[in-house]
């Protein structure tokens, strides 16, 4: 489990083709604190450390993850957002992120608004259905708040610190980003659908909402 608070921007140093996937070698200061078997969110996708040195670590990316994320589009030198798994003793500064990427979206534009930045991305129906305005969303492993939501696009406001300390400063229009929608919203939707979408006052009382 993760929080969407990026710890480092790593650099892809090697990409190796393996059976049914690829192996990424990533340079990051986090490597010195990782051990084999640790989980690391890489652009928001939960991956397992398979090998490491003092300055680099390797992760295997399955064909399923390649299909659902932007990791298959990476090149030598690409920058990736990194976050180690959450410790239960730490504050949850972002939101609950599982590292299970739902889909990808395409950057429409990044515009400057004073000291801030507005990131606008084109989205599919799944992302729209599972997002709410002012709700949380994980974009390339970054916990962000949706500022505006339309059926085919959404926008988020980026503070200067986040822009400078993530891979967003390297992004450009048409780049793909990984999307993980809020897990709580997914469970709520499934629960409501199981009840045939009939939410009554009795239903809310029965489940402790009122």
Phi then psi for residue 208, to 5 deg, are 80, 15
| 30: Cβ contacts below 8 Å, ≥ 6 apart | 7, 8, 10, 40, 57, 82, 84
Residue 197: which pLDDT band, with cuts at 50, 70 and 90?
low
| Interval 151-171 mean pLDDT | 97
Distance CA 142, CA 155 (A): 14
Residue 59's H or E segment, with its range, is: strand 56-62
Distance CA 74, CA 154 (A): 24
- 71-107 pLDDT per residue, tens: 999 999 999 999 999 988 888 889 999 999 999 999 9
- How deeply is 28 buried, as exposed, middle or buried, from its count of CB atoms within 10 A (0-12, 13-18, 19+)? buried
Query: By C-alpha distance, which of 136, 128, 141 is closest to 171?
Result: 141
Whole-number average pLDDT of the chain: 93
Distance CA 112, CA 69 (A): 27
Percent of the chain with pLDDT over 70: 94
Residue 202: which pLDDT band, with cuts at 50, 70 and 90?
confident
Query: By C-alpha distance, which of 87, 4, 95 is closest to 41?
Result: 4
- Cβ(27)–Cβ(54) below 8 Å: no
Structural tokens at position 34: 């990782």
- 56-71 pLDDT per residue, tens: 999 999 999 999 999 9
Which residue stretches of 51-200 are H helix?
63-68, 125-129, 160-164, 183-194
Residue 196 has pLDDT above 70, yes or no: no
- CATH numbers and ranges of domains, the chain: 8-84 (2.40.30.20), 103-189 (2.40.30.20)
**Residues of the chain by 3-state class (helix, strand, coil), percent to 5:** 20, 40, 35
pLDDT of residue 200: 65
């Amino acid at each position: 489990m993760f929080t969407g608070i990026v710890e480092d921007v790593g650099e892809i140093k090697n990409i190796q083709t393996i059976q049914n996937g690829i192996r990424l070698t990533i340079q990051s200061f986090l490597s010195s604190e990782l051990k084999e078997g640790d989980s690391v969110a890489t652009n928001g996708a939960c991956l397992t450390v398979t090998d490491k040195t003092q300055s680099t670590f390797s992760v295997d990316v399955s064909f399923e993850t390649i299909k659902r994320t932007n990791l298959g589009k990476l090149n030598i030198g690409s920058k990736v957002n990194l976050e180690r798994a959450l410790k239960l003793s730490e504050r949850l500064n972002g939101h609950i992120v599982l590292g299970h990427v739902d889909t990808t979206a395409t950057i429409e534009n990044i515009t400057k608004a004073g000291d801030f930045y507005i990131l606008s991305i084109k989205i599919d129906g799944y992302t729209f259905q599972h997002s709410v305005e002012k709700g949380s969303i994980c974009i390339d492993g970054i916990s962000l708040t949706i500022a505006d939501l339309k059926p085919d696009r959404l926008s988020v406001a980026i503070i200067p610190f986040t822009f400078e300390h993530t891979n967003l400063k390297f992004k450009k229009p048409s780049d793909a980003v990984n999307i993980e929608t809020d897990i709580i919203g997914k469970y709520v939707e499934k629960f409501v659908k199981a009840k045939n979408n009939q939410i009554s006052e009795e239903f809310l009382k029965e489940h402790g909402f009122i």
